Amino acid sequence: MTAVETQPADPTHPTRASGGSRPMYTLTDVTKTYTQKKRTVTALSGVDLEIPAGQMVAIQGPTGGGKSTLLQMLGALDRPTSGTVMLGDQDLSKAGDHALAAARGSEIGFVFQGFNLIPTLTAAENVETAFADGSVPRDERRRRSAAALASVGLAERAEHLPAELSGGQQQRVAIARALVKEPSVLLADEPTGSLDEATRDEIMDLLEGVWRDRGLTLVIVTHDSAVARRAQRRLHLKGGQVRDI
């Protein structure tokens, strides 16, 4: 499968991409507020956003601007205070905990800056943690883990512990773990933030190749403009409001 081709963002609709692809995400008037020390903080404020299936999107903005909160909404990790978050035909804003967990388990893969690998497990075993719910037989878990590691160029490192891997290799393991259940969406939160420039470019080459080859919807939160420029579409989030760049 190849990535769905999309057109540049339509300037008359700042947060709605033009083109004929079906939407993977549709956010309508999404607001998220928190109470901190008896003070109400607005993380998202009336966000309207459509992300077509197969699009590669970069989200930038200042610290505290709402990027992490938006990624939590897209990742079925939280619900908005008001408004709707649609993943395809599923309304995540009204879904129960079980339905949100199911969406995370089958539709969404996550990659984080800190890798989040278990230090006492090998690379292969870390990838297999994606099947912690026990839904896949052991032999199948091993086969799919090996295939996922091979797809990110780490077949020969399957039995190595995280401490025996470089930062770039650890991130490749994390990407394999995110991909092993073949999700429709890959969400990456500062995936190159702790890497040097050369390794950053290698990881971006990998993510971009995965996006093209698998037809994923790829959303990357980043402070790095060199990373953001590689996306089809760039969004800027500030003060809880989002716009196309």
Question: How many residues in the chain?
Answer: 245
For residue 210, give the nearest of 236, 179, 241, 187 by alpha carbon.
Answer: 179
Which runs of consecutive H residues, i.e. helices, occur in the chain? 67-74, 97-106, 123-128, 138-151, 167-179, 197-214, 225-228
Whether 217 has a pLDDT exceeding 80, the answer reads: yes
Tell me the percentage of the chain whose pLDDT exceeds 90: 81
pLDDT of residue 135: 79
Per-residue pLDDT tens digits for 157-179: 999 999 999 999 999 999 999 99
The answer as to whether 240 is a domain residue is yes
Whether 8 has a pLDDT exceeding 80, the answer reads: no
Per-residue pLDDT tens digits for 15-68: 444 444 789 999 999 999 988 888 898 999 999 999 999 999 999 999 888 999
DSSP 159: T
Domain interval for residue 39: 23-107+183-244
The answer as to whether 113 is a domain residue is no
pLDDT of residue 64: 85
Per-residue pLDDT tens digits for 92-128: 999 999 999 999 999 999 999 899 999 999 999 999 9
The answer as to whether 40 is a domain residue is yes
pLDDT of residue 38: 82
> Across residues 175-190, what is the average pLDDT?
96
Whether 14 has a pLDDT exceeding 50, the answer reads: no
The answer as to whether 55 is a domain residue is yes
Whether 3 has a pLDDT exceeding 50, the answer reads: no
> Across residues 126-145, what is the average pLDDT?
91
Q: What is the mean pLDDT of the chain?
A: 90
Instruction: For residue 241, give the H/E element and its range.
Output: strand 241-244
pLDDT of residue 36: 81
The full DSSP string for 52-118 is ETT-EEEEE--TTSSHHHHHHHHTTS---SEEEEEETTEETTT--HHHHHHHHHHTEEEEETT----
Whether 183 has a pLDDT exceeding 70, the answer reads: yes
For residue 39, the domain's CATH number is 3.40.50.300
The answer as to whether 72 is a domain residue is yes
The answer as to whether 151 is a domain residue is no
The answer as to whether 150 is a domain residue is no
pLDDT of residue 48: 96
Whether 137 has a pLDDT exceeding 70, the answer reads: yes
Whether 70 has a pLDDT exceeding 80, the answer reads: yes
Total domains in the chain come to: 1
Q: How confident is the model at residue 136 (pLDDT cuts 50, 70, 90)?
A: confident
pLDDT of residue 42: 93
The answer as to whether 6 is a domain residue is no
Whether 223 has a pLDDT exceeding 90, the answer reads: yes
